[in-house]
Amino acid sequence: MNLEEVARLAGVSRSTVSRVLNGSPGVSLRTRAAVLSAVAALRYRPNQAARSLASTRTDTVAVVVSEDPDRCFDGEFLAGVLRGITSGLAGRRVVVAMNPFEVSDVDGAIVLSLNGHDPLPGRLPIPVVLVGRPLGTGMSYVDSDNLGGGVLAGRHLVARGRRRVGVLAGPADVAACVDRVAGVRRALGQPPAAVLRCAMTAEAGAAAMAGLLASAPEVDGVFCASDAIAIGALRYLRSVGTTVPEEVSVVGFDDSGLARVCTPALTTVRQSPEDLGATAAWRLAAHLAGEQDLPQSIVLPTELVVRGSS
């Protein structure tokens, strides 16, 4: 028996069931009664290891890094988010875990996950704020304006006279990549020359760049869904003698440290990991303080940084 079955019988979301079981405020008497009735009818018994996360107020917040075994967050991005979280939660103890059940006695959690369909956040019986948009509904999150950033990148390539733009899109289950590519498509005003999915690594970017040139040899501009992908694309273009930006312009996304030191320096869309972390910390702290009518989603601005690759 699990929370999904209780939620289905009660006609509410899984997060609402969690709030009722944890005694959280903001749930109507009618909804609370429906959930408790469903719990009784199904003889649901909450997972005690999970329940211990929310047993008492401890002024402690967990930062849960949920990763698939075959991929992980960029270290620079993760460090920036953690700096923002710790500064935003001054006065509270912050614990970092790769598994939510490695910690106990916390008041809430900030979850970082590359998987937009990750079921873990919805299973935690405590208030949760995500860093990054989930590919679904019902969860509170803070994210960068990935779609708007994609629009900026696409418009820049068009302004540079690029008419055959290819896209190295990143994984299909990472919402940031989905939104960035959607923004580029919107800005181009026509279908891209080709769109290739790849992992968010330099090695995958190089391989995808080779595939892009094989499928669309006339390409004169490339948007990469992350700087890591773009670094690989630049390496491959250099290896085959293609000049950047004379023959092909390249634009990335993130404004990582490598974007500033690669050759040529990478034009990219800047986001602020520290602002993401600090804003997620504020959103969770406000919820724990009982503030009402908080926004479910908070989207932070991005900006284009023009360098030598375009």
Q: What is the CATH number of the domain that holds 234?
A: 3.40.50.2300
109-148, pLDDT tens digit by residue? 999 998 899 988 888 888 999 999 999 878 999 999 999 9
- Provide the residue range defining the domain that includes 4: 1-46
Residues 40 and 106 in one domain: no
Tell me, yes or no, whether 308 lies in a domain.
Answer: no
Q: Tell me if residue 10 falls in helix, strand or coil.
A: helix
The per-residue pLDDT for 236 is: 98
Residue 265 shares a structural domain with residue 123: no
- pLDDT, one tens digit per residue, over 101-119 is 666 788 999 999 988 999 8
DSSP bridge pairs for 288: none
* Cβ atoms 255, 80 nearer than 8 A: no
- What residue ranges of the chain have pLDDT lower than 70? 1, 21-26, 29, 32, 36, 40-41, 43-56, 69-71, 99-103
Total structural domains within the chain: 3
Q: Which of 46, 61, 79 is the last residue of a domain?
A: 46
Do 296 and 216 share a structural domain? Answer: no
**Whole-angstrom distance, CA of residue 6 vs CA of residue 4:** 5
Clarify whether residues 54 and 98 are in a common domain. Answer: yes
pLDDT of residue 48: 47
* Predicted local distance difference test score (pLDDT) of residue 49: 45
Closest residue by Cα to residue 232 from 201, 202, 210, 267: 202
Strand order in the sheet with 140-144: 93-97, 60-66, 108-113, 128-131, 140-144, 297-300
Q: Are residues 22 and 111 in the same domain?
A: no
Mark whether 57 and 131 lie in a shared domain: yes
Q: Is residue 305 part of a domain?
A: no
> Do residue 115 and residue 185 come from a single domain?
no
Is residue 88 domain-resident?
Answer: yes
- Is residue 55 located within the same domain as residue 110? yes
Same domain membership, residue 284 and residue 175: no
Measured CA to CA in angstroms, residue 129 lies from 15, 64, 168, 247 at distances of: 12, 10, 29, 44
Based on the fold, state whether residues 85 and 231 are members of the same structural domain. Answer: no
Token representation of residue 125: 């019986």
Residue 289 makes CB contacts below 8 A (sequence gap 6+) with none
